Structure 1
């Protein structure tokens, strides 16, 4: 059943203005929104409906300039506003009131999720309603378990959408397409042939005024606990029977359950954390993270995190998975890099000089590249070339795809409750060890590649440090 009412709690925030409103206009432009669709934004500002529509028009001017004007006008006209404390049942009840089912989007800080879900439970929702939570889902494993308990008392699991917009990105979905629709890859997709996989989300973007959220979360919770672990699931999962919600999510949970739990010693040797110091990014001066407005240096929040994981499974025993993310770095690099093992014998007499084959899935921009060794100008010499392609742009932005699934009631690309808990299980040993100071908080100049590499005998760190080979624009 398609839901035609959307209520956004936290409807005046950056998430709504930057992503949700443009996504709705894209859905309208694609013919996916019913003419009876309405959106009610709820927030603490003392606004009326017209004041909110004026605000929405300003957000479209900033973040949706390329959208069809008719769709922008239609979505703006469909918006209304209600002042509400999202933790007060009576005020929440007024925002969701009506006989028709409603999709309630919690565009809120995670710290408010439990109180808001409790308020929704007391307010009551029409039959057939849905609820949407953003990441991170809770702030710890125990927090996620409690939130799941509250949600289970409000709606059936299939009506709960723990969204992660990374799963709606075309190239992330192409990880599955490339694996499962190409016979040449799937027989090689195991530890016999793959030495390591790097899942990287490096940004030149620094804090950019997000201290109110980011300084309480940090890189590990903001990116690795949800986004990058989700990508890991798609890289490492067993082929599902179908791409339906049950089959797909069962296989993702299998991957998270197979992640070997890190001991304190593992955390010391297999994780890193750091934050950026003053530097220059893209020709602009960037202040030290601790000097950014709204940052409390005493929190020791990291802006760079790296975690190395192993999977206890038949397919992946012996393959290393590294998840890395950082802000204020010298170049944007968002990709999955799959490094293959060397061939067993080379008749060219240059075994030590041959670079590994690397298959790169560029996440942003969307691309695919395969680095291969070929014979060079001399018969017994080898050189490496890159075979690459750019992907066609998607017909919908990631949030457009997620909202469409919410309105239509398809939870396949959202996280199931046990999946959210398993993701916290993976990172909790890291959080605990970091809080106890077992891993030093390093620094790196803004605009650099990140903290200097630590040398570990027998470890190959060239993959993370070599630049991605991407096709020309």
Structure 2
């Protein structure tokens, strides 16, 4: 296990909300020893004491449930360097020390190439690892170039392109449930499954993130990485093992099988929208274009939906619908697998039963199966719902990711060719949207999103 972690961008929201609590959870669970050391690097003109006071305050705010001793251990093991991530000399001072280091780039994607170049010139110690947050690159060309820079820095097995969705318990259950249950695996194909909805809808609005979000939008922020990863787990062929090579090979196969979208497909099978002023709960929310830091001329979307089909043996005719949005009426984060109707219903029945629906709730973590039964009145169909709440995991998602990074377990990391293929899938969408082939719709904050799509010939 690597015992040194250097976080570039250590005074940002990601470190405060997720990385520091993740480290404290590792310490509480006994996964970090006394020899572990954390070095934070940022633009603030702080010394080590100021960083430790800040880290202690963030842990108090975002990790209340963890033992005080674990939080104090993480704080006491921390140091700080003021550093420009594009300056090789400053970067070298951050990673200096005995033994390998895990360099975590908690930075905006636009800074990745310069930071990786600086790490290269700083000469990382042998055995070191590099961690990058999503999105990996800003388009296909930038992802290819970033992969080239990383290949010059460290071996591919030392690159961790992390996506915390993959460490969520229910996300793991999406794969596990279908693979280990005899009743599901034989029907996990297009003959039995009509549609799969992969949804991340949140009531959260912009919340001060314009500096990043306005340059990315919903498609790049959520759909290109998180939701495509969920698609891979739902649709992949059963791997021989759950090791990194087999998992990543099979995920890549799914992405390669996505039917390429033409301009006509993009017009017909995608939607984009952004929120206008509205009300969320007990507060008024300004229109996205009125949020601080937003450039209205960018036409950034806060809602994105894409329908995909896979050209392979298992999934001909099944629709995979990926949808994400901000400032919506309610939080809805789930994978919903909708089965086809049975071939024949008994004569004399009353009512039209809904098809079976298997839902994996991502937040909170639940599993729900909607079935059909017979009601008190003979021959009347009634819905039956079975719900299971998933036990809390030992580690939060970022704790699991950090443990994998320090241990060198790449199973939940995204391989370079996989990252590029994900961009290939959505490049036609980005291109068509940039040319305004798909209208930018609007929806009020606090609503369910844009209304029903207007079809040709309707008013």
TM-score range, shorter chain: over 0.9
Q: Which residue of 2 aligns with 1:219?
A: 218
Structure 1 Cα separation of the partners of residues 68 and 389 of structure 2: 29
Deviation at 1:76, TM superposition (A): 0.6
Deviation at 1:352, TM superposition (A): 7.1
The 3-state SS of whatever aligns with 1:195 is strand
1:297-331 CA distances to partner (integer Å, 9 max, x unpaired)?
11111000000000001000110000000000001
Deviation at 1:34, TM superposition (A): 1.4
Structure 2 Cα separation of the partners of residues 184 and 385 of structure 1: 18
Deviation at 1:91, TM superposition (A): 0.7
Deviation at 1:385, TM superposition (A): 1.4
Structure 2 Cα separation of the partners of residues 394 and 279 of structure 1: 36
Kept after mapping to 2: 8 A contact 1:165/1:399: yes
Structure 1 Cα separation of the partners of residues 439 and 196 of structure 2: 25
Aligned length: 456
Kept after mapping to 1: 8 A contact 2:179/2:185: yes
The 3-state SS of whatever aligns with 1:415 is coil
Q: Which residue of 1 aligns with 2:67?
A: 68
1:383-429 CA distances to partner (integer Å, 9 max, x unpaired)?
11111111101110000000000000011100000000000001111
Deviation at 1:257, TM superposition (A): 0.2
Give runs of aligned pairs for residues 127-146 of structure 1, distance below 5 A.
127-146=126-145
Deviation at 1:377, TM superposition (A): 1.9
Matched, 1:357 2:352: no
Kept after mapping to 2: 8 A contact 1:199/1:336: yes
Structure 2 Cα separation of the partners of residues 303 and 215 of structure 1: 9
The 3-state SS of whatever aligns with 2:211 is helix
1:122-156 CA distances to partner (integer Å, 9 max, x unpaired)?
11111110000000000000100000000001101
The 3-state SS of whatever aligns with 1:247 is helix
Structure 1 Cα separation of the partners of residues 352 and 266 of structure 2: 32
Q: What TM-score results when the alignment is normalised by the length of structure 1?
A: 0.95
Structure 1 Cα separation of the partners of residues 277 and 56 of structure 2: 36
Give runs of aligned pairs for residues 444-455 of structure 1, distance below 5 A.
444-454=443-453
Structure 1 Cα separation of the partners of residues 76 and 350 of structure 2: 66
Structure 1 Cα separation of the partners of residues 201 and 162 of structure 2: 22
The 3-state SS of whatever aligns with 2:442 is strand
Deviation at 1:99, TM superposition (A): 2.6
Farther-moved stretch of structure 1 (249-258 vs 375-384): 375-384
Give runs of aligned pairs for residues 104-143 of structure 1, distance below 5 A.
104-143=103-142
Q: Which residue of 1 aligns with 2:346?
A: 347
Q: Which residue of 2 aligns with 1:242?
A: 241
Farther-moved stretch of structure 1 (39-48 vs 60-69): 60-69
Q: Which residue of 1 aligns with 2:16?
A: 17
Structure 2 Cα separation of the partners of residues 66 and 380 of structure 1: 51
Give runs of aligned pairs for residues 142-153 of structure 1, distance below 5 A.
142-153=141-152
Kept after mapping to 2: 8 A contact 1:348/1:380: no
Structure 2 unaligned regions, length at least 5: none
Kept after mapping to 2: 8 A contact 1:18/1:59: yes
Matched, 1:43 2:69: no
Kept after mapping to 1: 8 A contact 2:351/2:380: no
Structure 2 Cα separation of the partners of residues 358 and 454 of structure 1: 24
Deviation at 1:456, TM superposition (A): 5.7
Q: Which residue of 1 aligns with 2:421?
A: 422
Kept after mapping to 1: 8 A contact 2:356/2:372: yes
Q: Which residue of 1 aligns with 2:318?
A: 319
Deviation at 1:348, TM superposition (A): 4.3
Give runs of aligned pairs for residues 10-409 of structure 1, distance below 5 A.
10-349=9-348, 353-409=352-408
Kept after mapping to 2: 8 A contact 1:361/1:368: yes
The 3-state SS of whatever aligns with 1:414 is coil
From the superposition, tell whether residues 455 and 338 of structure 1 become closer, same or farther in structure 2 (CA, over 3 Å): farther
Deviation at 1:282, TM superposition (A): 1.7
1:176-212 CA distances to partner (integer Å, 9 max, x unpaired)?
1101110000000000000000000010010111111
Kept after mapping to 1: 8 A contact 2:351/2:381: no
Structure 1 Cα separation of the partners of residues 181 and 163 of structure 2: 26
Structure 1 Cα separation of the partners of residues 351 and 116 of structure 2: 58
Structure 2 Cα separation of the partners of residues 351 and 42 of structure 1: 67
Q: Which residue of 2 aligns with 1:466?
A: none
The 3-state SS of whatever aligns with 1:35 is coil
Q: What TM-score results when the alignment is normalised by the length of structure 2?
A: 0.98
Structure 2 Cα separation of the partners of residues 351 and 39 of structure 1: 65
Q: Which residue of 1 aligns with 2:2?
A: 3
Deviation at 1:72, TM superposition (A): 0.7
Structure 1 Cα separation of the partners of residues 351 and 131 of structure 2: 52
Supply the RMSD in Å over aligned alpha carbons: 1.1
Structure 1 Cα separation of the partners of residues 455 and 244 of structure 2: 41
Kept after mapping to 1: 8 A contact 2:350/2:380: no
Kept after mapping to 2: 8 A contact 1:132/1:160: yes
Structure 1 Cα separation of the partners of residues 313 and 351 of structure 2: 30
Structure 1 Cα separation of the partners of residues 433 and 378 of structure 2: 52
The 3-state SS of whatever aligns with 1:56 is helix
Structure 1 Cα separation of the partners of residues 17 and 24 of structure 2: 12
The 3-state SS of whatever aligns with 1:373 is strand
